[in-house]
Amino acid sequence: MTYSLNNLQLDAAFAQIQRGNYKAAAPVLHRFAEQGDADAQYQLAFMHEHGLGVKADAAQAAKWYAAAAEQGDAAAQFNLAEMYEDGEGVPQDYVQAAYWYDKAATQGDTDAQNQAARLYAEGLGMAQDYVKAAEYWHMAAENGDDEALYNLGVCHDDGLGMPQDCAKAAEYYRRAAAQGNADAQVNLGLLYQEGYGVEKNEAQAAHYFRLAAEQGDAVGQLNLGFSYAEGSGVETDFAQAEKWWRLAAEQGEKDAAAALAELQKILAEEGAA
Let me know: does 80 contact 100? Beta carbons within 8 Å.
Answer: yes
End-to-end CA distance of the chain: 95
pLDDT tier at 7, thresholds 50, 70, 90:
confident
Whole-number pLDDT of residue 270: 80
Whole-number pLDDT of residue 4: 55
E-state strands within 26-160:
none
The letter for the amino acid at 63 is K
pLDDT tens by residue, 214-272: 999 999 999 999 999 999 999 999 999 999 999 999 999 999 999 999 999 998 888 76
Closest CA to 36 of 72, 62, 77: 72
Whole-number pLDDT of residue 205: 98
Interhelix angle 130-142/146-158, rounded to 10 degrees, is 140
How far is CA 11 from its chain centroid?
Answer: 34
E-state strands within 111-252:
none
Whole-number pLDDT of residue 273: 57
pLDDT tens by residue, 114-160: 999 999 999 998 899 999 999 999 999 999 999 999 999 999 999 99
What's the whole-number mean pLDDT along residues 152-179?
98
5-19, 99-113, 205-219: the lowest-pLDDT one: 5-19
Residue 174 pLDDT greater than 90, yes or no: yes
Give the integer Cα–Cα distance in Å for 39 and 25: 13
Whole-number pLDDT of residue 8: 86
What's the whole-number mean pLDDT along residues 1-27?
84
> Cα separations (Å) of 209 from 122, 146, 220?
27, 17, 5
Whole-number pLDDT of residue 272: 67
Closest CA to 194 of 214, 249, 186: 186
Let me know: does 100 contact 78? Beta carbons within 8 Å.
Answer: yes
Whole-number pLDDT of residue 5: 58
Whole-number pLDDT of residue 75: 98
pLDDT tens by residue, 62-115: 999 999 999 999 999 999 999 999 999 999 999 999 999 999 999 999 999 999
pLDDT tier at 1, thresholds 50, 70, 90:
very low
Neighbours of 234 (CB within 10 A): 20
